[in-house]
Structure 1
């Protein structure tokens, strides 16, 4: 077996780190840059904002499906070739997304973009770790993690500014120069450091079953609200396919000699509880990340740029604290560090649950700023728990499987949060209007004030309806924020059911794959 290449030195180390970080930045940016652009995309393509969320979920699901393939593809083609090809294909599919004239084509290209993006983040970590001496692995991962924390800051800002001042397709076009630069630098530095390759049988049945049940489940979540859930034969069909497909997937993967997903990893307590905790937490986190800009733009009158500004402070404390967490994750119990994150998210979401239609930008930005601190304590400790006690040869499979579960949960969290938001808004709307009627003094007073201001009776009615909708959707968002806060805090108990292990492979790959 060829010896592992030594660490990079000097300018090569700096450029290599920059190229790998750029690719990671581009990938993570693409999952958040579309958030504030959803109303513009939906309006331009003639669909509802809820349907527009498919632009996010389609990318997430496709990305989740392709992540477990990373291990097999790496052994077949080599880490450097696969990473470079993944970046170049990401550039191509980003360009296609910008040209999409319909929602259906945009979703198709986002699916392709998600599929080719799968290997990028795990392999950026693999190549980065090979560039540094083992004793600096934790710091290298902390530096790498900072790029994934800067991207959520830049995403809303950049996406909002581009949408308001140019046009939404340019949120995809900007990947072209960044990706070409990252691919070029990576190939020039790492081509001579290619990993060994060997031919392995591909688990085609496992891949097909994975695509089938995950795709069916996501379609169920995305179209459930639109088709009135299980009163629709189509939704029932998706549910049957998802359940049956999942059962066959479990049976096949547990008996296959070369499974695409090593489900035996779930036999380890830390991996199972750590992955489940990370997945649920990430689903809650990402669902709320999508919900907040939708509420700001649709019911608070924010432009895409203003919504981006409201979300921008999230990275400040994350960037400052991440290196500190990276340096200490091997010395401090990661369960304690992750507890800080969960309490932080709980506090942030509890603060947001008090938002009203009168809440100003300053009060919206305060919990966003605090959220950055929670993010710094989130990914690195949790991935350390997930990978603890594993031998180095099992870490790629474990990281891939953990990320599959996490990314899938993120896409599902988006669908569930937007669906629950609409359901709760309908309920609140009914409660708000049940007392109003022709004889209600408040109704008559509001109608009189608006008509006195020069509005016709029809315009006055429309204005009152708009105000009721604003209140209903704000209260519904508060409900989602509060429920999410409670769930975050309750996850702490699951966290402490894991076992603390000293040292181990996890210390080397503490960052996991975001």
Structure 2
């Protein structure tokens, strides 16, 4: 392929991957606007997020099978078209359930834009530059979830919520045209002898119910809600049956036998934990900044901006270091250490923290995640045969997405319960015999009296202000606990690297990816 055409195609597939990952979180800040505009409850509107996540996680592990069945070129271009058309339909939805339906279809199209884009990237680079391919793709993986909420907030604030979908249309059209003209069929096409329909059905049922439980559990009070309990049991039984069936059938839709590789298994677990850290930190920090520090969406986005520049530099450096033979394990340890430090510093924040300090802390987070992205991908496939690499890479990507869903569900539940516990502890100090409380209540009362309130109303307003302070402090402490918990998860998972027995060097792994 001509160098100019190759560069255009590289930009194309990276743009497609970023677009897909942005759409995971871009709608989060617009849910209340959708709810009011479409006349739906906020609980119903949250299915806009859930349906997309369900479709994504279903399709990603099947991408190798679908590429083999339909041809990678046809599957990829068809997925881009489906994603683009459904983006237009989402923006024109007349009611909430039409929006949820097209959001689900959009997620089905978006699933290919992650795993297949990665495979295309590796084919477009020569063997000696595979580290750069990993770094560039890692950039998309990192940028998408990071800027999604900020971009969604900016668009919603200055335009209207349908535009968070409409912005996909020109990108989708350009990607479609570029791929139609430049994208070639895979050099090695996976052989599909027959369709594993039972495996597909079990995967759809198991993943969709599991994802629904993770996304909706906290809002529905977990197992106090009947359908959450039923879905949990269904997910467990379906996924167990899926694993048993896929290990026995000769032509599985998802080849779970690749997990016989201890290295892939360890890499998948670490990728799952990395997904928890990547998505929960992007979720917690904007909430912390906007709800407790009263930052605007634009100000919150600026907090993340310096880290993105350092992440880009780290991704390029990590790719080059791997290419020169540095062990992925060394970089993974460094990446985990930086994220643990980020979690520790964020767990010590106060309501007086400056924007500069938060932004500096986010640099550690960004560099840590950036240093993990490329090495974990290389480690995951380093001991696989060439024919198993697409499946291994797809499963590794799925683990990152599942980690994000699991992490946000876990953090939501954890912060809610910790906030209640902290509130109970703080309220114990609010009694008339405490001189600090008595003086503060008197000061608040005098303030409201000076501003025209009656003595009765001034007293009620003073108590309300103290109640607000307790709630705010309780929420702050719960967020700090969540940062500490995620950092602790990273810490206890590090010893898993002792189980890795790499049979291939980074260069050999890159060569296998190129052969694919």
Return the TM-score normalized by structure 1: 0.90
Partner of 1:466: 468
SS in 2 for 1:403: helix
- Tell me how far 1:344 sits from its aligned partner: 0.6
Distance of aligned partners of 1:160 and 1:313 in 2 relative to their CA distance in 1, 3 Å threshold: farther
What CA distance in whole angstroms lies between the structure 2 residues aligned with 1:412 and 1:396?
24
Partner of 1:292: 285
Partner of 2:349: 355
Distance of aligned partners of 1:170 and 1:80 in 2 relative to their CA distance in 1, 3 Å threshold: same
Alignment of 1:177-188 (within 5 A): 177-188=170-181
Contact 1:36 1:293 in 2 (8 A): no
2:322 to 325, 329, 346: 329
- Tell me how far 1:474 sits from its aligned partner: 0.7
- Tell me how far 1:101 sits from its aligned partner: 5.7
Partner of 1:87: 80
| Residue 430 of structure 2 is aligned to residue 428 of structure 1 | no
What CA distance in whole angstroms lies between the structure 2 residues aligned with 1:101 and 1:465?
41
Partner of 1:62: 55
SS in 2 for 1:160: helix
- Tell me how far 1:181 sits from its aligned partner: 0.8
Partner of 2:196: 203
SS in 1 for 2:499: coil
Contact 1:253 1:260 in 2 (8 A): yes
What CA distance in whole angstroms lies between the structure 2 residues aligned with 1:224 and 1:19?
37
Contact 2:72 2:185 in 1 (8 A): no
Contact 2:50 2:212 in 1 (8 A): no
- Tell me how far 1:48 sits from its aligned partner: 8.4
CA deviation map 1:94-126 (0-9, x unaligned):
223334465555444333222211111222222
Of Structure 1 and Structure 2, which has the larger fraction of its residues in helix? 2
What CA distance in whole angstroms lies between the structure 2 residues aligned with 1:261 and 1:237?
25
What CA distance in whole angstroms lies between the structure 2 residues aligned with 1:343 and 1:232?
39
What CA distance in whole angstroms lies between the structure 1 residues aligned with 2:232 and 2:150?
38
What CA distance in whole angstroms lies between the structure 2 residues aligned with 1:508 and 1:56?
38
| Residue 236 of structure 2 is aligned to residue 243 of structure 1 | yes
What CA distance in whole angstroms lies between the structure 1 residues aligned with 2:246 and 2:445?
67
CA deviation map 1:160-192 (0-9, x unaligned):
321221123322221111111111111111258
- Tell me how far 1:312 sits from its aligned partner: 2.4
Partner of 1:5: none
Partner of 1:3: none
Distance of aligned partners of 1:227 and 1:29 in 2 relative to their CA distance in 1, 3 Å threshold: closer
| Residue 150 of structure 2 is aligned to residue 148 of structure 1 | no
Alignment of 1:111-122 (within 5 A): 111-122=104-115
- Of 220-229 and 336-345, more deviation after overlay is shown by 220-229
What CA distance in whole angstroms lies between the structure 1 residues aligned with 2:464 and 2:91?
35
Partner of 2:484: 482
Partner of 1:506: 509
1:392 to 379, 386, 389: 386
- Tell me how far 1:93 sits from its aligned partner: 2.1
- Of 23-32 and 51-60, more deviation after overlay is shown by 51-60
CA deviation map 1:220-273 (0-9, x unaligned):
333333343334433322222122112211221111121111111121110111
SS in 2 for 1:378: helix
Alignment of 1:58-457 (within 5 A): 58-100=51-93, 104-190=97-183, 200-330=193-323, 331-437=325-431, 440-454=434-448, 456=457, 457=459
Q: Which runs of 5+ in 1 are unaligned?
A: 1-7
| Residue 14 of structure 2 is aligned to residue 21 of structure 1 | yes
- Of 256-265 and 31-40, more deviation after overlay is shown by 31-40
What CA distance in whole angstroms lies between the structure 1 residues aligned with 2:130 and 2:265?
25
Q: Number of paired residues? A: 504
What CA distance in whole angstroms lies between the structure 2 residues aligned with 1:375 and 1:51?
33
Contact 1:56 1:411 in 2 (8 A): no
What CA distance in whole angstroms lies between the structure 2 residues aligned with 1:44 and 1:451?
40
- Tell me how far 1:41 sits from its aligned partner: 5.2
SS in 1 for 2:330: helix
Distance of aligned partners of 1:425 and 1:54 in 2 relative to their CA distance in 1, 3 Å threshold: farther
SS in 2 for 1:355: coil
- Tell me how far 1:201 sits from its aligned partner: 2.0
- Tell me how far 1:61 sits from its aligned partner: 3.1
What CA distance in whole angstroms lies between the structure 2 residues aligned with 1:476 and 1:51?
26
2:495 to 486, 490, 493: 493
SS in 1 for 2:81: helix
- Tell me how far 1:50 sits from its aligned partner: 8.3
Contact 2:215 2:405 in 1 (8 A): no
- Tell me how far 1:479 sits from its aligned partner: 0.3
